[in-house]
Amino acid sequence: MSIADNIKSLKNETNPIKVQLIAVSKTKPAEEIMEAYDAGQRLFGENMVQELVDKYEKLPKDIKWHLIGHLQSNKVKYIAPFISMIQSVDSLKLLEEINKHAEKNNRVIDCLLQIYIADEETKYGLGFDEVIELLRSDEYTGLSHIRIRGLMGIATNTDTEKQIKDEFYELKTFFDGIKQSYFRQDPTFDVLSMGMSSDYKIAIEQGSNMVRLGSTIFGQRIIKHWKNN
Ligand SMILES: *Cc1c(COP(=O)(O)O)cnc(C)c1O
């Protein structure tokens, strides 16, 4: 199937159940992104700041870009003028930095807190107790140029379906609890981003309303930089 066919069939699958589809275009060239764009896709995810900035400059301005990879504080300034959502917030320090640059750009930047749910030491993210600590802090309460829209999580890379299901279940339960306790008056806390190509069906069953799909749309990634393709 072509990229356009993949977008159409995934939209048919996700639109009726109100699950948002992020097309993860990391390492993919502009022409392939345009194929998805021409099929109606407007939400794209990237994990590297420099690649994201290059693509933002080159591609149509009505694309909404989501950063889904680890963000270093000293790189926030490059994406603050245009980023639609930062899904990978994993510290209060980073949130403060995003707030500072959002303010400089007269913007409020939508963020997700990335939660550590996988059984893998290589993955980034906040623990459940760290999220609560962050949300209770005076520093967080004072930030007026960021808006926490929800949570993001990456499950363990495993063939054991039960484990993936349990991790997503745990994150959904935590999301509901956080919403009840800290965002009851705030209907914009409404995004639960979980599910990638290998596990998005399980994620949706467990209550995800945003999936991040790369290889299902664009095919397997060859590990090289998109500029050199
Ligand atoms: C690369 C990536 C994805 C997409 O991965 P696929 O397996 O190609 O769907 C989703 N989320 C994050 C955080 C990623 O880095």
Question: CB–CB of 221/27 below 8 Å?
Answer: yes
**pLDDT for residue 48:** 97
Predicted pLDDT of residue 89: 98
pLDDT tens-place string over residues 115-148 = 999 988 777 899 999 999 999 999 999 999 999 9
* Position in ligand 1 atom list of the atom nearest CA 215: 8
CA of 214 to the centre of ligand 1 (A): 6
Question: In the chain, which residues have pLDDT < 50?
Answer: 228-229
- State the closest ligand 1 atom to the C-alpha of 154, by its place in the atom list counted from 1: 13
- The pLDDT score that the predictor gives to residue 224 is 56
The pTM (predicted TM-score) of the whole model is: 0.96
**Residue ranges lining ligand 1, Cβ < 6 Å:** 24, 26, 47, 68-69, 154, 196-198, 212-216
Q: For residue 186, report the distance from its CA to the centre of ligand 1, in Å.
A: 29
Q: How many angstroms does the Cα of residue 79 sit away from the middle of ligand 1?
A: 20
Convert the pLDDT of each residue in 193-211 to its tens digit: 999 999 999 999 999 999 9
Report the nearest-CA residue for atom 12 of ligand 1.
68
Residue 121: predicted pLDDT: 76
Instruction: Give me the CATH topology for the region 3-218.
Output: TIM Barrel (3.20.20)
Site to probe by mutation for ligand 1, drawn from 46, 68, 196, 201 as the one with most ligand atoms within 8 Å of Cβ, is 196
Instruction: Tell me what the pLDDT averaged over the chain comes to.
Output: 95
Residue nearest atom 4 in ligand 1 by C-alpha distance: 214
Q: How far apart (Å, rounded) are the C-alpha atoms in residues 28 and 32? A: 7
**Gap from CA of 137 to ligand 1 centroid (Å):** 31
